[in-house]
Structure 1
Amino acid sequence: MKKLTNNQKKFLRARGHGLKPVVMVGQHGLSESVVAELALTMTKHELLKIKIRTDDKESKQVMIDKIVDVTRAHLVQVIGNVMVIYRAFDEEPQIILPRK
């Protein structure tokens, strides 16, 4: 997976700003049902906003890392308890990233 450039991240942050969180991760962490929901949602959306409900910084970071790993997505941004991830569709991507 090719790393996103700063320009591409900036572009995706702007696109993700108006999105509502589609998936919520509760205090019980990444259950199998949440992982399944993430996998399904990533087939419908290239850019996804996820809300993580936890006050513990370490467990939040573990969840963020696991979500990025499980979805094979790029981490675009984390603000507070909200993260934005991006993974282009395999066929016919909807979001065209800037080249540089």
Structure 2
Amino acid sequence: MLTGKQKRFLRAKANKIKPIFQVGKIGVNENMIEQIIDALEKRELIKVSILQNCTEDKDVVAEQLVTGTNAELVQIIGNNIVLYKESKEDKQIELP
């Protein structure tokens, strides 16, 4: 579980990055979860964009991503979800 200070730190870092995944009409599927797990292992902090044609609510999508990847939800801002998961092999981000 992230503290408020750690979430603020990660939100500041996430401000500069662009979304690398998009959730569309079909929603969250198993293949997307696997790819996000791989991306989190390499980057630790990623953004996921929710497209206009996504039929599910962004809170539901965020919950599916968090449970599927075992990542921490940093924030939902607009149609973007920011996820963090500490890397086992390639740790890059030092949390305060």
1:60 match: 58
Alignment of 1:88-99 (within 5 A): 88-98=86-96
Q: Percent identity?
A: 40
Change over 3 Å in CA distance of 1:54–1:65 after alignment to 2: farther
Q: Structure 1 unaligned segments of length 5 or more: list them.
A: none
Q: Structure 2 unaligned segments of length 5 or more: list them.
A: none
Q: Under a length normalisation based on structure 2, what TM-score does the superposition of the two structures give?
A: 0.88
2:40 match: 42
Alignment of 1:1-100 (within 5 A): 3-54=1-52, 59-98=57-96
Q: Under a length normalisation based on structure 1, what TM-score does the superposition of the two structures give?
A: 0.85
Question: Cα RMSD over matched residues?
Answer: 1.9
Poorly superposed stretches of 4+, deviation over 4 Å:
54-58
Question: For this pair of structures, how many residues does the alignment match?
Answer: 96
